[in-house]
Amino acid sequence: MDWSSYGHSAFTVFCLVSFAVILIGAYSKRAKTRYDEAANLPFLGDEDEAAQFRAAANGAKE
């Protein structure tokens, strides 16, 4: 084996270890709560904006 084979093998091992670390980080219990909070972000604060939009659509003055 020459040095380029060792380099290819080292790069393959590095990629496998990096992938495993990313998977462990993505599926950890701590990440689950963070992802749940991020999933609910689009729904937070819509009540106030929706009420203002409905009032403006009805021609009501603020």
Which pLDDT score is estimated for 56? 59
Specify the pLDDT at position 23: 95
Which amino acid, 60?
A: A
Q: What is the pLDDT of residue 57?
A: 59
Per-domain residue ranges for the chain?
3-57
**Full 3-state SS string of 20-41:** HHHHHHHCCHHHHHHHHHHHHH
Predicted pLDDT at 10: 96
Query: In tens digits, what is the pLDDT along the chain, a chain of 62 residues?
Result: 788 899 999 999 999 999 999 999 999 888 888 888 888 888 887 566 656 656 655 655 55
d(CA 61, CA 42): 27
Residue 13's pLDDT is: 98
Which tokens is 46 given? 């819509």
Residues 6+ apart with CB under 8 A from 28: none
User: H helices then E strands: how many in the chain?
Assistant: 3, 0
